Structure 1
Amino acid sequence: MDAHSKAKQLVQQRDELDEKIKELMLVLETNNSTMDSPLVDAEGFPLNTIDVYAVRHARHDLICLRNDHAELTEKIAIEMEKDHAEKPTYSDEKPVHRTSNEPFVKISSVVELSPADIGGFRKDDLIIQYGSLHHGNYDDMKQVAEITKNSENKIIRVTVIRDLRPVRLEIIPKKWSGPGLLGCNIIPVKGENV
């Protein structure tokens, strides 16, 4: 079971506990009692205005359920953290408004089973958008390297031109068995030196 499903299951269990806690609190309320109000009078006799037996049991069960509740809350937090770690995050959440579909860099080679290959890069893909980068704001290859480095283990949205048509990809730069974070060679379209 993945962390998300596990967290969901634990939240459901905690919701059921909450219902039981509400019922037990009602027992205390109907007896004009709290968790620590006295159950005996000044002379040590049980108060005849409350159901001492029911209040005692409700208090005991409440203590147990509250401990279980705290434990479940802790487990939920752990599973949610795991779930968040399992899901790659997007490196640039803001929508990018490209001013043109003109490519600025291209893929000259892709290593098999590299993050670039798994993400869908193909040799000769022409990149028209790489994260927040596009023809209108691209200056040099350092920007591509910077976005890649800053997006380790996060999704970069990329749009390439392949067979004269735009193709949207999601690339996740990460450490792998080969060099770099992508495993591909990206070169400028306008023959500048990298």
Structure 2
Amino acid sequence: MSVDLNLDIHNTSTNDTPDTDVSPFLLLPLPTSPPAARSEAKTLLELSSRLDSDISRHITVLTSNQVTMTTPLIDAHGFPLANKDLMAIRTAKQRINVLRNDSKALRDRVAKLLELAINGDAVQSTSISAGSSCGTSPQLKAFAKVNSVAENSPAQSAGLFPGDEFVKFGSITAEKGLTALAAPGVVVDGTSIQIQVRRSGDVISLTLTPRAGWGGRGLLGCHLLPL
């Protein structure tokens, strides 16, 4: 009688709780529209949180056995460690490695989705209202950098230039990060947003008004990169 030892490492757990399997999402082609990108990014961010919970659950197996990911499972004489659940430890280590790889791949895909959502529709420029300088504010951390500004775009009208670093976008700061700009309701056609950017060491306040139909792609007309 033969025994099948080919285990599905995505669906075998040390406590019979299935781990989150994100492989179907990673195999899909990237969406082509910003709304679809935002929707998928939201789903994947929720899955990322579940992956973190799965990893924590397996780490608990290691801590309960008083070992870490790098702890040898044999003693100085080459014998298996006593009083340890070696099978559970090996399985937990394997699962943690798999889940961490999945988590990295998921974050990479989310970054691509957010770039499409933000630069293709959600994060684009606004019209200029005020260009007052707030002076040097080292306590404000930048979370996005303007890579390019389209001609005649809302971003250009707002006074944005390549190299400007966003420290505040409405109520969004570095604590929430660039991903928050892709959320529904953050960038709305015709609704002005107070922004702050760091330029040459100074923090400058501007008013950005997203606008459709300005002649280019998206509502802002600028390309942002995460910092």
Q: Deviation of residue 50 (structure 1)?
A: 1.6
* Paired AA for residue 46 in structure 1: P
The answer to whether the aligner puts 1:87 opposite 2:113 as a matched pair is no
For 1:175 and 1:79, the matched residues in 2 are separated by 20
For 1:8 and 1:26, the matched residues in 2 are separated by 28
Please give the TM-score of this superposition, normalised by the length of structure 1: 0.51
Distance 1:153 1:90, change over 3 A: closer
The answer to whether the aligner puts 1:11 opposite 2:45 as a matched pair is yes
Deviations 1:131-158 (A, max 9, x none): xxxxxxxxxxxxxxxxx94426889859
For 2:154 and 2:44, the matched residues in 1 are separated by 31
The answer to whether the aligner puts 1:30 opposite 2:79 as a matched pair is no
Is the 2:125–2:154 Cα contact (8 Å) retained in structure 1?
Answer: no
Q: Which has the larger radius of gyration?
A: 1
Q: Deviation of residue 8 (structure 1)?
A: 0.5
Is the 2:38–2:113 Cα contact (8 Å) retained in structure 1?
Answer: yes
Q: Deviation of residue 49 (structure 1)?
A: 2.7
Q: Deviation of residue 43 (structure 1)?
A: 1.7
Matched with 1:174 is 215
Matched with 1:48 is 82
Distance 1:58 1:94, change over 3 A: farther
Structure with more helix by fraction: 1
* Paired AA for residue 91 in structure 1: T
Q: Deviation of residue 174 (structure 1)?
A: 1.1
* Paired AA for residue 60 in structure 2: L
Distance 1:154 1:171, change over 3 A: farther
For 1:52 and 1:29, the matched residues in 2 are separated by 13
For 1:34 and 1:67, the matched residues in 2 are separated by 18
Please give the TM-score of this superposition, normalised by the length of structure 2: 0.44
Q: Deviation of residue 3 (structure 1)?
A: 0.7
For 1:149 and 1:65, the matched residues in 2 are separated by 44
Q: Deviation of residue 39 (structure 1)?
A: 0.8
For 1:52 and 1:172, the matched residues in 2 are separated by 63
Deviations 1:153-192 (A, max 9, x none): 889859xxxxxxxxxx94532159xxxxxxxxxxxxxxxx
What does residue range 1-194 of structure 1 map to in structure 2 within 5 Å? 2-84=36-118, 85-87=120-122, 89-92=124-127, 94=129, 149-151=151-153, 170=211, 172-174=213-215
* Paired AA for residue 77 in structure 2: E
Structure with more strand by fraction: 1
For 2:108 and 2:61, the matched residues in 1 are separated by 27
For 2:37 and 2:157, the matched residues in 1 are separated by 20
Unaligned runs of 5+ in 1: 97-147, 159-168, 177-194
Distance 1:88 1:65, change over 3 A: closer
Is the 1:155–1:172 Cα contact (8 Å) retained in structure 2?
Answer: no
Is the 2:125–2:155 Cα contact (8 Å) retained in structure 1?
Answer: no
Is the 1:39–1:52 Cα contact (8 Å) retained in structure 2?
Answer: yes
Q: What do you get for the CA RMSD once the two structures are aligned?
A: 3.2
Deviates more, 1:55-64 or 1:39-48: 39-48
